[in-house]
């Protein structure tokens, strides 16, 4: 299973699919084949692994896979059926597939007489697939909120200028994070004020292979000559300010992860609504002062209502500091407000 997780990590980070790995073993434990899912429309990990094994060797073999074999026909057929037809005698997997249509492969295999074992390295698999699992379970994408600020919490100077608070290393890291998310979201205010391209670019300014889908939230019109109109993925405009509805729509488009890069207004709206799963805070060793704070009103009226975070890591990026944090896991008066699932 450790090897299957390593194989799963070879699959693309973004896209409407789960990253899954599989290993096929002979009865004596010898590895017969390995495989992983390479993206939507390609063979699933189990089928990919079996494709490297002679058919006669599959009979009586064991398939080890990081996610429950699927039980539905989409772009490909059910993996549970493929395993049964190949004569695989035992299937070992880490976690159940939470998808309403895909779930049930394990029961189907058991009904056909296949020995099925679940829960092997489940914690590791849950952590590896956390973004995809959350999006399927809650019906909304994983939300990462990012901002860059001075040490005193300012996102811009008093005149509105903000290029550049952080250095080149921090800015390049942001581009890498854009490429690691399915979509990037800003409000119309950011579009009108900054005219961002919202592309993921390399050190030399070249476009990276993976580009996030740009999403604009709000009612003001995106100008026809806006840089976003030239984005290689096009642009999705979501009118209104209903975050729940907008996120459900993005999930229907196959978006599993969103990087929120808007200004203080939109970042604060996501935080106040309890819809943030991870924070990326880029802190520059400068002081600016003034009114241009990184966040606005979060609905915190007293210190007892403060929103607590767990710091997952701190990383030096040149002169700057990246703080990666998540809503605190604690429950109770201070912790419960950090958790909110969409209906």
Active-site positions read 46
- Reduced to 3 states (helix: H, G, I; strand: E, B; else coil), residue 186 is strand
CA distance 188 to 239: 10
Cis peptide leading into residue 164 (ω within 30°): yes
- Chain centroid to CA 131: 4
Q: What count of Cα atoms within 13 Å lies in the side-chain half-sphere of residue 342?
A: 23
CA distance 215 to 234: 9
- Reduced to 3 states (helix: H, G, I; strand: E, B; else coil), residue 274 is coil
Residue 9, number of CB atoms within 10 A of its CB? 12
Beta strands in 193-269 (DSSP E): 213-217, 236-238, 257-260
Encoded tokens for 270: 């996501």
Encoded tokens for 249: 């729509």
For residues 243 and 273, is the Cβ–Cβ distance under 8 A?
yes
């Amino acid at each position: 299973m450790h090897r299957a997780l390593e194989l799963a990590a070879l699959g693309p980070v973004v896209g409407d699919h789960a990253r899954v790995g599989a290993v096929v073993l002979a009865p004596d434990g010898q590895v017969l084949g390995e495989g992983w899912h390479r993206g939507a429309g390609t063979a699933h990990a189990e089928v990919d692994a079996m494709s490297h094994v002679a058919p006669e060797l599959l009979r009586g073999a064991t398939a080890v896979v990081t996610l429950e074999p699927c039980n539905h026909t989409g772009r490909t057929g059910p993996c549970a059926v493929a395993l049964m037809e190949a004569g695989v005698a035992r299937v070992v997997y880490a976690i159940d597939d939470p998808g309403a249509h895909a779930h049930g492969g394990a029961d189907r295999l058991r009904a056909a007489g296949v020995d099925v074992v679940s829960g092997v390295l489940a914690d590791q698999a849950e952590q590896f697939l956390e973004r995809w699992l959350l999006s399927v379970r809650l019906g909304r994408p994983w939300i990462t909120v990012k901002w860059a600020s001075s040490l005193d919490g300012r996102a811009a100077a008093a005149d509105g200028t903000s290029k550049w608070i952080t250095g080149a290393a921090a800015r390049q890291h942001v581009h890498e994070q854009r490429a690691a998310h399915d979509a990037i979201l800003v409000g119309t205010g950011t579009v009108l004020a900054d005219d961002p391209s919202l592309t993921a670019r390399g050190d030399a300014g070249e476009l990276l292979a993976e580009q996030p889908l740009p999403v604009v939230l709000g009612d003001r019109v995106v100008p026809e000559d806006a840089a976003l109109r030239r984005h290689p993925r096009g642009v999705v405009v979501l009118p209104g300010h209903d975050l729940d509805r907008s996120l459900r729509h993005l999930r229907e488009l196959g978006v599993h992860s969103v990087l929120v890069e808007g200004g203080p207004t939109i970042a604060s709206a996501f935080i106040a609504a309890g819809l943030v799963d991870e924070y990326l805070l880029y802190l520059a060793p400068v002081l600016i002062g003034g009114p241009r704070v990184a966040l606005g009103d979060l609905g915190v009226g007293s210190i007892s209502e403060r929103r607590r975070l767990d710091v997952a890591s701190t990383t030096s990026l040149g002169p700057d500091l990246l703080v990666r944090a998540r809503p605190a896991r604690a429950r109770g008066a201070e912790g419960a407000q950090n958790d909110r699932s969409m209906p």
